[in-house]
Structure formats: C-alpha cells, structure tokens
Homo-oligomer: A and B are copies of this chain.
Amino acid sequence: MVVGDFAHEREVVVIGGGPGGYHAAIRAAQLGKEVTIIENQKLGGVCLNESCVPSKLFANAAGKLDEARDMESFGIKGYEKVSFDINGLQERKNKVVHSLTQGVEALLKKNNIEKVQGTAFFISDTELGVENQDAFEKYKFEQVIIATGASFSAPENIPDNDDRILFGSSLYAMDETPEHLALYGSDYITLEAAAIFASFGSEITIILDQEKDSFSFDKTINKELLRLLKKRKIKVYKKTKMTDVTALKDGVHVTLISSNGELTIEASHLFVSSDKSANTSGLRLESCGVEVSANGFIPITNTTQTNKSHVYAVGDTTTSGSLAVEAIKQGKVAGEQAAGENSEWDPGLCPVVAHTVKPIAVVGLTEEEALQEGYNIRVSQFPLASNGYAALSNEKEGIVKVVSEKDTDVILGYHAIGCGSIEMISSAVQVLEMGGRIEDVIYPYYPHPSINEAWLEAAEGLLGKAVHG
C-alpha cells in the first residue's frame, strides 16, 4: 500500500454508520453540506444489527408469548397448544435488520450522501486514509465526525472463547433457547435478556454484578421489579461475588461467594454484562491531535467538539454516551454544528428504558438522588392495580412514582414500571424538560380509561389528591 498524493476533497466526513454517524451525516446533508460517510462493516452499526433492534424484537416476541398465556381469560381459547421456535424468530430478526439497513442506505442516497466502504484512519488533522482490502483512498476534509462506537470487552478471568459464554449482543444471535441462562449484571441489557429468555422457557439466574443488593433504579421500582422477577421464578443473587467461571462440555459453572459461603451455579449459558472500550485504537487519533481518555473514549463538549474544533465525536465512542439515544442526539448536534448551526446537547434528562418483565422507563432524579442532592421532596406512587385500564387489560403489575420538590412543586423525577411505561415516558420527559410543576401534570386531560391516568394520579398523590389511591 502506497499513500499517494491525490486526496478527495470533502466538506464533512463521518466515520461510522451507526445511529450516531448516520444521524450526523443526514442532518449535515439536510443543512446543505456535502457529506461522505465511511463504514467498515454494516450500516446501522451494532445498535441496528446486533443490540437495540434485535433485543427489542426479541422482547416483543417475549411479550407476545406472555400475552398468549393470558388470552384464555379474554375468551380466547387454544393457546395451550402454542409453541415457540427461536429459529423462526431469528428469521424475522434477519429480515427486519436487513430491511432497516437497506432503509438507512436509501436515506443516505436520498440525502446525496456518499457512502465509502472501508476502515478509516487519520493521516493528519485534515486528512483521512480509507482502506478497503487492497484499495486505499485519501480524503481531505474540512470537518470530521467520529462515530465509531465501542466494543464490549470480556472481563478478566472470564473465558472469552466459549460460545456458551456471551458478551454484548451475542445474546440475540443464539439459535437455541438456553436451558439455564445465568446473567452476571444489573443493567438494562441483563434485565431485558432475563425477561426474554424466561418467556422463551429458559431457567434464569441473575447474579448482580459488583456485589450489589439490588438494581439501579429508584428503590420503589427496584422493589416492584424484584417482586415481578420472583413471581416469574427468576432467581436473583444479591451481595455475592463471582469467583470463578469454568466452561465445561455440558455447560458453564459459575462459582459465587457470599456471607452464606460458596455456591456453584450449573448453567447452560452465561451472559456477562461488561465494560466497553471505544473503537478508536485503529483511528490513529494522534495524527489528528485528538485527545482521548481511559479506554480510548474521546471527551467532547456540549457542541460535540473534541479538543480540535473541527473534529466532532458522538455516541459511545465518547466519554459522554453509552445509549443509542445519546448517540442520535449528539449525531444531530454534530451534523448541525458541522453545518454552522449553533446547536447543543444536554446530558441531563435522558430517559432510561428497559423492555423487561414489565417495561421500565425512568427520567430525572430518584427519591434517593433527590435527597442526596439536598432537595426537600414529596414522593408519590400509584400502583397500576388501582388503574381501571390496567384492570380491564389484565396489566395490573407495575407502579408509577413521581418525585417533586416540596417548596416549588417542580417535578424532579418520574419512575415507571408496567404496561405503557415506555410510550408514556415522553410525557414525563416533556414535563421535566419544561420545568413543569405538579399543576402542569394535573391540569391536562387524560383519556379515560387509560394507563395514562396512572401518571396523573401519581402526580395528584403528591398533593394527597389521588382519587383511586
């Protein structure tokens, strides 16, 4: 390979075609920029191809199976004969992923964005090289947006060469339903996998990582979540340390130690929720002068700029994002900035969502966080069991909790588990973003009967006014 002198001259180059990258590219193009996007694998990135989309598709199938099991009480008979075949679901996943990837490709075309297949690296602070097998091209850019994502790395002492020990998104590539899936973690990825494979018929064991005694939500949500996991016979090991993982011919043995002594779980598969490293090691960032932090992550400002003002970075390749939501938001900001708009992102009010036993969606401060930050607060929780729509649809599991500041009535946090939580989170995000108060939640109309009324009544509860509370 010889690096020649000729360089294609481009206004904006985006490295990486995941959600952060393609949103950045399209937004910059919408605003009149000539944009080139470079991808070395598949458009849509890990999110579309391996994690966000496949996991939600699996969660959707799990929800359908759960629903099937509840149909008899609605006069729908014959469901005891329904069976599940994971290969049928994989087929659907492949189709959907393919069609969405094609969709991204079409959007790039529609926006006149040049797509270059290959692996990019910096030659200088205005030039990139792109390798694709034997081919090499040089690109001179005015501005560049780095959106190369991050990769899960196997924790120390855990074998990473056994296909029954799973990391990152390999969970949704399996062609058989695990007999007994042990999950080491406490994040939404762990919770989604637990619920999904439990619905598919797997025995599930969750081992909370870092010797935790619960999940990371508000304590009310944690309590309801633990209750629902128990009801589904999902075992949760708290305050234990995973001391050994051994891959055997017929499964994975996981040894735990707790105050009660040592215990070995004989699972068929083990998933380990692990840390990520930024995909920046091959970028030769030093040639561009872009600074990185630990594990290769790139620090950015709220305009998504790196230490070099014409170099932007977005999503989980940065120190400021691990969710696709954040990558998308930052991608748009980077695209707007590159096109000369004065645009910013704010890390504050990003909802956290988990498609688990019942959907969880939260935004803002938990009760504990609000107290730690010194707020004088009110809290109110409303159980879906007291909501009419939940009763009629047999969706009585769950709870909506609201935290407000006592003196100002400003809503500080919204925490929900149960049917409809994810769709309803946008209402809570709106209220929090607009600095809304209890009155702003109580005054509007809510359809009747609806799950939405649980949000209304949780807010009314802050004033002791929940009618069904």
A88 close to chain B: CB less than 8 A: yes
A395 CB to nearest B CB, Å: 9
Q: Does A67 contact B (CB under 8 A)?
A: yes
The yes or no answer to A425 lying at the interface (CB within 8 A) is yes
- Taking A426-B455, A429-B444, A430-B431 as contacts, is the C-beta distance between A87 and B100 under 8 angstroms? no
Which of A179-187, A299-307, A325-333 lies at the interface with chain B? A325-333
Structural contact, A107 and B467, CB atoms closer than 8 A: yes
Residue in contact with A27 in the complex, picked from B76, B393, B452, B465, CB distance below 8 Å: B465
| A422 nearest CB across to chain B (Å) | 6
Residues of A within 8 Å of B, CB-based: how many?
91
Q: Would B351 and A445 count as touching, CB distance under 8 A?
A: yes
One of B81, B103, B430 near A468 (C-beta < 8 A): B103
Contact: B445 with A325, CB < 8 Å?
Answer: yes
Copies in the complex: 2
| Residue of A61, A86, A90, A323 contacting most chain B CB atoms (<10 Å) | A61
A105 CB, nearest partner CB in chain B, Å? 13
Within 442-467 of A, Cβ neighbours of B (below 8 Å) are at: 443-452, 455, 464-465, 467
B-contacting residues, A273-291, CB 8 Å: none
Sample of 16 more A-B contacts, CB < 8 Å, known A423-B423, A433-B443: A57-B392, A57-B393, A67-B67, A68-B79, A71-B82, A73-B88, A75-B88, A107-B468, A325-B446, A325-B447, A353-B447, A425-B447, A426-B444, A430-B430, A430-B434, A434-B436
Chain A interface residues (CB < 8 Å from chain B) = 19, 22-23, 26-27, 30, 47-48, 52-53, 56-57, 60-61, 64-65, 67-68, 71-79, 81-92, 96, 99-100, 103, 107, 323-326, 328-329, 332, 349-351, 353, 361, 386, 388-389, 391-393, 420, 422-427, 429-431, 433-434, 436, 440, 443-452, 455, 464-465, 467-468
